[in-house]
Chain A
Amino acid sequence: MDSLEGTLWDVVLYGTGIRQSLLALALSRSDKKILHIDSHQWYGGAEAAFSLQEAKTWVEGIQHELEHPQFKKASLHHPERDDSQTDAPKLSYPRAYSLALAPQLIYARSDLLRLLVSSKVEKQLEFVAIGSWWVYQSALAPQGSSDDGTADGGESSRSSLLRVPSSREDVFADTTLDLNGRRKLMKFLRFIARFEDEPDTWQQHASKPFPEFLEQQFGIPVAIQSPLIALTLSLKPPSEITTEFALSKIATHLRSIGVFGRGFGAVIPKWGGLSEIAQVACRACAVGGDNGAYAAEEESQDGADSSFKIKLSSDGRVSTRWLVGDVEDLGLGSMKETSIGGGDSRSDTAIIASRSVTVVSSPLGSLFPPVAEGSPPPAGAVVFFPSGSLCTAGSEEISQNHSPVYIQVHSNDTGECPKGQSVLYTFTAELGPPGLQLLTNAMTGLLAAVEEDPTPIALWQMQYEQSSQWADADPPHTLHAVNNDRIICLPSSSPDLSFDDAIIENVRDAWKRIMGDEVDDASFMVFEDREEMAGIDEDDDDLG
């Protein structure tokens, strides 16, 4: 590849994370000359998907502080294989895996899918359905089923997974609830379908805790609230989830069901979560006739007139009118961090979570019952571990106050692992060793609750902490004033369970700044089919 020394660009996109990649896609049909670069050998940035070998490299990178500082405390666990047992489950070759850093599920009601269609890249992607949602109930906890919360406890009970009802039909068939409990749930389902039209019921409670709202307005006691709380996908303890937030999330979930097909409402891209979308978006920019060069990086310098110079480490200096990237990656300042671990780990300005990615020795088929006749078999499931369902570190007893835990389970139909295995993606707000213990307890609980013989085991695991900046980062004043306007800082990625449409807002805002204010908002990501343009074959991906 020719050296880039002295070349002039309209836009330099730094990094191939989902935001930068979607921006590349948005700009791919414009007349802008775009240089898209990444310091890694892979696409995707914080949304990358890894083979086992790539994951190992990445973990080591974090340990040596070579990676973006939003990732910390990474470790890898690979239990020794007992070769004497020939039929013991074992790991397949490294490239058989494509583990996602961003396994976010995408709701049907999200704008993302609509934009992927209108920008004509949707056909290059395959999606699989998220099917059932489950609430974990420990063997040691009271097994409540009646409305007033009284129940039998006892260690003779087994840990169980209760399916979250997402429709009238689910509530109808849910025998764990009595008639009165079901009536209340039905009433809530009816309300949530059009809750914006009934402000009297909820407006005054908007910033109050959601559990209180459920109890006061719908008579739904805490004992049967978990299925609804599960749908909020929030890592905060339930008392910190506001009513407004919860209603919006639950409404998105319920309104998404049935949009693509009966019985499900969310999808994930195959082959490693958002990384596929990032790759396809980058390719679209390359195909569009703009350069998709991938060189190593470096810092920014100031320049003159409407462009400024930046230095690429191996290819010299280039000039550009716009520079887009993550604040940390651009070397423009540091992310605001709150203190890690303990009390201050849940702040308003940053979200920090303990994460793990685990390959499990079983397809965990019981978590993926078919959603409806004629619908595709689900390949993803969500398991919620509410406060009061797990033991914490160093204790044999259930803690009532631990942070909730979520596990997203992906079957091999996602293309992320070979047949006969599955992948667990865990999330919790608890940090440090207590957080890791919580994740381990949740995983162990899940693998016991599926009641398989032999009990499935973890074949491979990586753990890490992920934090994100607040959404509206301003570039610090370390650069020349002229250039400040021309540097667009994108927020770093959050450890979310579902795709946040705010990402699209980030991209749209950046696109507008680059294209200029006269651009028509309605043209964002709306393209014509390439076949109608001269000669370019959309399937030609030899570039880049």
Chain B
Amino acid sequence: MASHGVPRVAGSGSRDTAKEQKKIQEYQSLVELVNAKISEREYTIEVLALTTKLLSKNPEYYTIWNHRRLILQHQFTEEPSTSETTEDNQLPPKQQRILDLISDDLRLLVGLLIEFPKCYWIWNYRRWLLEEAEQRLPTAVAVSFWQKELGLVSKMLARDERNFHGWSYRRTVVASLERLSEKSGARVSMVEDEFAYTTKMIYSGLKNFSAWHNRSKLIPRLLDERKADNVARRKMLDEELELIQTALTDPFNQSAWDYHAFLMGTISPNSSVETVIVRDFTNHDRVIYFEREMDRIKEMLQVDEDCKFIYLALLQYAATYLDIEGGNKYVTTREMRDWLAKLRELDTLRRGRWDDLESKLHL
């Protein structure tokens, strides 16, 4: 037998099943206790603490989050003890209490969020807390909560820039701040800052689908707010194409190809994003842009002739190009057949897809 005669290493660390059993039992009693208290409508701070304990072990148990909401909602309606005096510039005691409860909860849960950054329920619950704040407290207070959230989500995205929960939450935070600014009189737009933020995130992580995607959503708004004229719009497009070509120096970066396709979409007629960047394209203009981009993509083959994404892009853009200018000899059927053959060679697993593409393009 293999283990005979092998000297024992000090502390070989076998799993302590007795310890585990104890932990499981503790957890189960805690669940029973919390559920019992809730069914008896004991919406107290003590029970709140019990749910905290439970959720720290298992934040995915979403029913407990709902219990927590019930407890807090009840607490929000409670009158504070009358011994608290009000100063002139402070909130009335009841509102102060709500503020304290929300603020404590937000602070308490930061640690849990950092430990479980991809747990839907924690993000949702934070959003709920802030919505409660918006409903029950003065706008200025709600704004300050949302601003702290912006700081928190930036910190979370610095830890993991590809966490889509974070990006989605960020959009919510930004939208809320903009909405609240409107409420208090002067509407503030955060588009410029958010655009700069996507630039920063792209420089720190080129394969960031979320950052590129966010950017594509922001650009149209950005141009509208800047009241960009046709010249400025062309400039933006040219600069973005330059940027994405630099990102495509690694042609295996799919997120870059997605963004490039978005930009090409803004140049294509009849696409869903046709006029979001440049609005005054003539057909001739479109042809020039397509040819230039396709030339640049063909250049990539000098270094990376085995990258399927290049051939795929060439085929897709060639198809659109022929829609714009059918009779032009810039792209030949022969060329397209060669690219398709390369695709088949490089990616044998997707034979069906290439067959489909072949018939769609009438090759």
A contact set with B: CB distance below 8 Å = 29, 168-169, 171-173, 179-180, 182-187, 189-190, 219, 262, 372-374, 518-520, 522-523, 526-528, 532
Contact = CB atoms under 8 A, between A and B. Distances in A.
The 3 closest A-B pairs by CB, nearest first: A528-B11, A523-B9, A182-B249
B10 A527 contact: yes
Given A169-B203, A172-B206, A173-B203, A183 B249 contact: yes
B303 A183 contact: yes
B53 interface: no
A521 to B, nearest CB: 10
Given A172-B203, A520-B6, A187 B304 contact: yes
Nearest to A372: B204
Contacts of B159: 374
B105 to A, nearest CB: 25
Contacts of A180: 299, 302-303
A378 to B, nearest CB: 16
B141 interface: no
Given A172-B206, A172-B246, A190-B250, A519 B302 contact: no
B217 to A, nearest CB: 22
Contacts of A169: 203-206
Contact of A186 (B9, B204, B249): B249
B47 interface: no
Nearest to B6: A520
Given A29-B10, A180-B299, A527-B10, 19 more contacts: A169-B204, A172-B203, A179-B245, A180-B302, A180-B303, A182-B249, A183-B249, A183-B300, A185-B249, A187-B304, A189-B250, A372-B204, A373-B158, A374-B158, A518-B5, A520-B9, A523-B10, A528-B10, A528-B11
B60 to A, nearest CB: 26
A374 B302 CA distance: 38
Most buried by B among A179, A518, A527: A179
A184 B303 CA distance: 6
A528 B6 CA distance: 19
Interface residues of B, number: 26
B252 interface: yes
B30 interface: no
A190 B206 CA distance: 14
Contacts of B299: 179-180
User: Which applies to chain A's interface (DSSP): helix, strand, loop or mixed?
Assistant: helix
A373 B304 CA distance: 32
Nearest to A218: B303
A372 B204 CA distance: 8
Contacts of B6: 520
A518 B204 CA distance: 50
B304 A522 contact: no
A298 to B, nearest CB: 36
B151 interface: no
A518 B5 CA distance: 8
B7 interface: yes
B247 interface: yes
A372 B249 CA distance: 22
B252 A172 contact: no
Given A168-B250, A519-B7, A526-B9, A183 B304 contact: yes
Given A179-B249, A180-B302, A186-B249, A518 B206 contact: no
A409 B321 CA distance: 55
Contacts of B253: 168
Contacts of B9: 520, 522-523, 526
Contacts of B246: 172, 179, 182
Interface in B41-55: none
A519 B7 CA distance: 7
Most buried by A among B203, B250, B252, B304: B250
A171 B249 contact: yes
A190 B252 contact: yes
Interface in B228-266: 245-247, 249-253
B282 to A, nearest CB: 28
A187 B7 contact: no
A180 B7 CA distance: 59
13 contacts: A169-B204, A169-B205, A169-B206, A172-B203, A185-B249, A187-B303, A189-B250, A262-B204, A373-B158, A373-B204, A519-B7, A520-B6, A527-B11
Most buried by B among A183, A520, A527: A183
A479 to B, nearest CB: 31
A168 B299 CA distance: 19
Contacts of A526: 9
Most buried by A among B7, B9, B10, B249: B249
Nearest to B159: A374
Nearest to B5: A518
Nearest to B306: A187
A186 B206 CA distance: 12
Interface string B199-233: 00001111100000000000000000000000000
A518 B6 CA distance: 7
A183 B299 CA distance: 10
A473 B132 CA distance: 75
